[in-house]
Amino acid sequence: MPETWWRGAAIYQVYLRSFADGNGDGIGDLAGLRTRLPYLADLGVNAVWLNPWYPSPMADGGYDVADYRDIEPVFGTLAEAERFIGEAHALGIKVIIDVVPNHSSTASAWFEEALAAGPGSPARERFWFRDEPGDWKSIFGGPAWTQVPDGQWYLHLFDPGQPDFNWTNPEVHAEFHDVLRFWFDRGVDGIRIDSAAVLVKDFDGGDPDGYTDLDEVHEIYRGWRRLADEYDERILVGEVWFPDQERFARYLRPDELHTAFNFDFLACPWEPAALRRSIEQTLDTHIPLGAPPTWVLSNHDVARVVTRYGRAETSWDHGNRRDGAPSDLELGHRRARAAALLAMALPGSVYVYQGEELGLPEVDDIPGELRQDPMWTRSGHTVPGRDGCRVPLPWAGEEPPFGFGAGEPWLPQPEDWRKLTVEAQTADLGSTLNLYRAALRLRRDRLGDGTLTWLQSRPDVLAFTRESGLTCVVNLGADPVRLPPHESVLLASGPLDGDELPSDTAVWLT
Ligand code: NOJ
Ligand code: CA
């Protein structure tokens, strides 16, 4: 297989609402992103992935899409999106966008048409309307069926504002083929597929989870792959969340998706045996398929890695989010820096969620009345949800909004983020931002796609070399460990003690 850009890419996730605000309304937008493109080029990433940027009532942060062929006016215009794609390309940055095929928005033309057309109409056949509700539960809490004024019920695996499409309907297939072409024709390099494993439903099997990973879903992606292959170097990235690695690997067969997020690695506790198992299992599932592994530490759905790794329980579990659990942030910070060097040294592509490069912690104290995640409302205010990892970025200055934009940010930023701004960290040689910059630069030349060779080490130490001769050593134990023989230290996640690597520290050597 030829070496292509995505196989070893470092991909930066832009959560547009919280990246940079260009017009002062407190919400991130394309204007803000465009002015910050040089920051991303300087950081050294190869691509960006943007969360949904489409017109949306924002019932779920834009994952409720009203029109797949336009841009949310709060974010900008279609013309601006096209300019952004061109500008990113001019800086050598590829663009991946989010496509949401499982569900739409109640504000979409199709759903409005379905409501107006009434029961039994072809317009209702694009969704799941029934005379009686089923008993499935919404992933955000509460029932997965909502009643409309004429008495019928529609299915929504997520928020009631996100009606599920009926993928047995050929019109739905045709629609998404057209949407993919629309964006590929505009120069988009890749599609991140939201909730990729849940499109097909089996209502009759009696399984409360009769929508996860049904065999028929693969035929959908085979069609998408054929379409993507008509273009040059375009990729499909699956959001595929479930534990069975053998089933996960099916999405990466050569005629399906190019890559998928490695959530096993993200969910893995900061423990040597578990991490080694996750890495080995990832390599074992990907290599035979010729698909590059991906390494993900965080995204807009999970608690920030600094906070997670400072907790007593460092694994991630969607069903048990541990929101607000106490965290030793200093410890979490050290581990997150070590984890970054580990993830960036592993073979394949790596994702960096905005703010991860600044070492931002989860914001646990957002007042309830400002929270916007539907998880918060749908859970009857018991699950705080995901707003704490979506707080607008601090760019510069001594107080909020820290250069995010002229107006008050849509979620409040902690006062003590003054130490974490891009400006403050640029000036500090030992900052997490400078660690990411250095690592991403070294990674560009020496790492990315390929394989690794494990080195003999203590069980609480992970040590391996890459083809380029770079060695990565991570000490997950309590005691320092002597570095293996080496010529020079390229980069370390924390101070070394002579030839000893302290606990919760990683190093790159040649
Ligand atoms: C996964 C997305 O990452 C998440 O933010 C969203 O709420 C659900 N899919 C539903 O679209
Ligand atoms: Ca704005």
- Contact between 101 and 165 under an 8 Å Cβ cutoff? The reply is yes
Which ligand is in closest contact with the Cα of 75? 2
Provide the residue count of the chain: 510
Residue 369 annotated as catalytic: no
What pLDDT digit, counting tens, does each position of 125-144 carry?
A: 999 999 999 999 999 999 99
pLDDT at residue number 398: 98
* Residue in 185, 230, 246, 445 annotated catalytic: 230
Which ligand is in closest contact with the Cα of 22? 2
Quote the CA–CA distance of 304 and 300 in Å, as a whole number.
9
Residues of the chain with confidence (pLDDT) below 70: 1-3
Please tell me if the CB atom of residue 195 comes closer than 6 angstroms to any atom of ligand 1: yes
pLDDT at residue number 208: 86
What pLDDT digit, counting tens, does each position of 288-328 carry?
A: 999 999 999 999 999 999 999 999 999 999 889 999 999 99
pLDDT at residue number 448: 86
**Residue among 194, 242, 351, 387 to mutate when testing ligand 1 (max atoms within 8 A of CB):** 194
Q: Where do we find the tokens 């009857």?
A: 380
Tokens encoding 256: 């399906």
Distances (CA, A) of 37 to 75, 334, 356, 445: 16, 28, 17, 21
pLDDT at residue number 1: 30
Residues by chain with Cβ below 5 Å of ion ligand 2: 21, 23, 25, 27, 29
Residue 194 annotated as catalytic: yes
Q: Report the relative pairing of strands 481-482 and 500-501 from DSSP bridges.
A: antiparallel
For residues 255-265, one letter each, b for 16 or more C-beta atoms within 10 angstroms of the residue's C-beta and e for the rest, the string is ebbbbbbbbbb
Quote the CA–CA distance of 57 and 433 in Å, as a whole number.
34
Q: Which helix (H) or strand (E) holds 489?
A: strand 489-492
Please tell me if the CB atom of residue 387 comes closer than 6 angstroms to any atom of ligand 1: no
- Contact between 291 and 227 under an 8 Å Cβ cutoff? The reply is no
